Amino acid sequence: MDSIKKALTEKGKKAFVPYIMAGDGGLESLKEKLLFLQECGADAIEIGIPFSDPVADGPTIQKAGIRALSNGTTLRKVLENIQSFKTEISIPLILMTYLNPLVAYGIEKFAKDAANAGTSGCIIPDLPLEEEDFILPALEQHGISLIRLVTLTTPVERIKEIGSRATGFIYAVTVTGITGARNNFSGELATFLNSVKSVSPVPVLAGFGVSNAEQVREVCEHCDGVIVGSKIIDLFEKGDLAGIKQLVRTAEEVSLT
């Protein structure tokens, strides 16, 4: 069993994966945030790499990326930073980045350096299934899971194909659009999540638009856990650590009832 799948299933509860933007608030704050989220009970953490053209990200994450870039954050610096305290991290770390930074870094070197930093997975929103072959072997060689996304508009046959290749977990996008808080979800969401779960050999986690405890409970009824990004960034920016703790606990409460 791969390390991400194991971490998301071994506790027998719904999984909670928070997202943070590396370098937002200064790269020196990354360790503090990761250790805090780990202590709160996060099952894994998604770490965003700031990029100048983040096509999947909504306003909150875009602004966090701009702040991180203005602080001089780069992919190389993020990996070096994480490597300096990787022995203190006991849960999987998953990088969310776009293709351009990886190509500029060098695919083989990225995979090696990411593995050395203790990274378990990688999410690349602008990498189509048909173009995976130029990066997948390097990731697999270094034990890094490629986390694939499916959306409300993904055809059933394509969901099945993605499921057949899946490692770590499948990232089920809950909205037709970019990241960011939503007041409600499509009436088709439950059917969509159930259909993805029916063909997935790995956990199915839902993300994009999940921003409060009620939505965490609603989404977790139909999948194995949630990913929360924009709300986590907002709460960190406001210094509301208690709010973050409560969101993390919510996923566990769903599984216990």
Q: What is the separation, in whole angstroms, between the first and last Cα of the chain?
A: 27
Neighbours of 252 (CB within 10 A): 18
Ramachandran category for residue 26: left, alpha or beta (phi over 0 → left; psi -120 to 50 → alpha): left
Cβ neighbours of residue 145 closer than 8 Å, sequence gap 6 or more: 2, 3, 4, 120, 121, 122, 139, 167, 168
- Please indicate whether residue 133 is annotated as part of the active site: no
- Please indicate whether residue 130 is annotated as part of the active site: no
> What residue has token string 């999947």?
56
Exactly one of 57, 113, 218, 252 is catalytic; name it. 57
Q: Which of 36, 90, 39, 96 is nearest to 64 (CA)?
A: 96
Exactly one of 46, 113, 218, 252 is catalytic; name it. 46
**121 forms bridges with which residues in the sheet?**
94, 145
Q: Which are the catalytic amino acids? A: 46, 57
